Structure 1
């Protein structure tokens, strides 16, 4: 039985994370863990403003804490009710310390983490992907399914392949962890440089591997700038397409100066992304 973690901000509960996680756990008879990142430094409103604006500042701060605790309890109840309705094997973790470190620790002991692309784990409206998401994806210890704001059942997949081991690793993890989704119609997309031929990298080896996991996959090989060409081609697909890609991990300096393909696709907030790196 696989262990899937659904990561939640209890103050901004993601219905989409819940829907994708429940569907995947049900499809694969997996144990689903709802991880609620209740960072003790995170409130729905600024505690400093609450204390500054109120005559009885400490009583109003207590009220804020009680309101937030109630909101977080409701989120846990919603998760538990959905899991029970789907007859899932599930559990709940309430992590109270620094959200990023807590979720990275949880990922060590998970097969897959499901998380909303728009998560910030703070009360501010950061443009996706927020710093929290960038840092988590770069250092996660298991594959991550980044989901859009609206749930759409997965009906097909696109596998991004550039001939590098990291892209093959992502396809492997997708096949091993989500066999139900990997059995759906699949397209392998490869973008070559303008001076390269249009052959699939390691053509014989890749197709031999794919025949065992995605034997009906179709292949698209084109020339162009991958950073522009891949998003453009994916826009031809609707939100029922799951995109598989690897190689998120980079040095901190590199992540600062050049965004990853995952960053670009997350910004679209349209497709679920299965991201795995070695």
Structure 2
């Protein structure tokens, strides 16, 4: 029987099987291309690094901001050996692992200045520590710009403001986000004389403009002074009085205050931990670029929390 007739009869008699075979055959080149591209890419990444024959840990967490990740890791690896490394200079957050989490796995806590030196290793206090996986969970720090005269005045961030023993008589808040508005309302209720200043023409720029207008009215009802289009130029100290000098409507505007609160967003703690050495890419906002599984461009290195962002 002619082969062409056999094929034709098969197609007519078994259309579903034919469609399945056709799909597999046509998809195979794309599958091979995808897999080969993936492995070639990974080979190039790992080519210059030697994989340890034996690992010290299953997971190294640089920073304490990866509680949920570590908890899930322990669930999938009950006997995992984990170390959490904290740099006290930038990583202010505390680990919120529960006693049961610690009991389920072997978890060590170390302090120092960690740096990633390979896809499997970090350098800490002059020693090299290895792990099958590395997690970057360094969090973020409040943005405190180096304004002129800032070293002469009492300034705080949303994290440190709670250390004040009492509410200041005059509080100046710099910022236009939700955090700035919430602190303004909180201290107004504590009878502080609050001034909220922003260089923008509105509050809550990430929200609908009507929302910003609504919040502006609410703040006014609480007798909170809101300065829009006010660009801070410098701080001054005259005797015991602190003064902020703003450029508003092409003229200097002087605001007296006792304490200034910076609510100017956060900066990811991704500097000085070795990302440049491995060429781990960052997003435009300074966060580490990860995929939907929180992996970086290295399959063995993950990032989570405020230090990472996933952009599809």
Q: When the two structures are superposed, what TM-score results if normalisation uses the length of structure 2?
A: 0.28
More strand by proportion, 1 or 2?
2
Relative to the length of structure 1, the TM-score reads 0.31
Bigger Rg over Cα: 2
